[in-house]
Copies of this chain bind each other. A is one copy, B any other.
């Protein structure tokens, strides 16, 4: 049961924030040795997360073993279980740090929908692909983990359908009687975009011409979404 070894793209070297920082900031009276311990613990946690990111990317979710992560982090297998409850916990932590926040480009999409500018819409939809490219290394194991453990879906805000609600600028400008329909269609279009991007970028489907496909996607958005009321 081998996992295809992917050629390693650039690793994000994000530092995953923790409550620890807040705690160590409680005041100058904090015994320094405690802080040393905490820093040590945090450093280990960081090494484990970096290692996990690398191994998840390389071997996929089911192909990754706690032992591999620990080895890559140069700590014992048991040490893995101090900051994390299990393999899924580590991945969720990575997801939250990297995928949870609403990507910036949705605001651009929203703005483009408001303006009704076809070129702007296409450009902002194209940014979607860029975002997927940047996060492709995590998206694959994440999808795998979610397929294996559907209940994890709740723990990740990466529910793309929800992004429809973030198109507040556009939705507000849609006539009230069309608003529900607009929201539903947005959801459907986002689902579609997500799948397209996943297949194009993460699965690396090279048989599809991105630009052509992007044209069609843009056109579908324009043809199906109610127009926003223009000021004025």
Contacts and interface: CB of A to CB of B under 8 A. Distances in A.
Interface of A: 1-4, 60-63, 86, 88, 140, 143-144, 146-151, 153, 161, 181, 184-185, 188-189, 191-192, 194-196, 199, 203, 212-213, 216-217, 219-220, 223-224
Given A1-B2, A203-B150, A184 B213 contact: yes
Contact of A219 (B148, B150, B153, B224): B224
Q: Which of A1, A4, A62, A147 has the most CB of B within 10 A?
A: A147
Given A60-B148, A219-B224, A184 B212 contact: yes
24 contacts: A1-B2, A1-B88, A1-B149, A60-B149, A140-B147, A144-B147, A144-B148, A146-B147, A147-B147, A147-B148, A150-B203, A184-B212, A184-B213, A185-B216, A188-B196, A188-B216, A191-B192, A191-B195, A191-B199, A192-B192, A192-B195, A220-B220, A220-B224, A224-B224
Given A149-B1, A224-B223, A216 B61 contact: no
Number of copies: 4
A22 to B, nearest CB: 27
A212 B185 CA distance: 11
Nearest to A202: B150
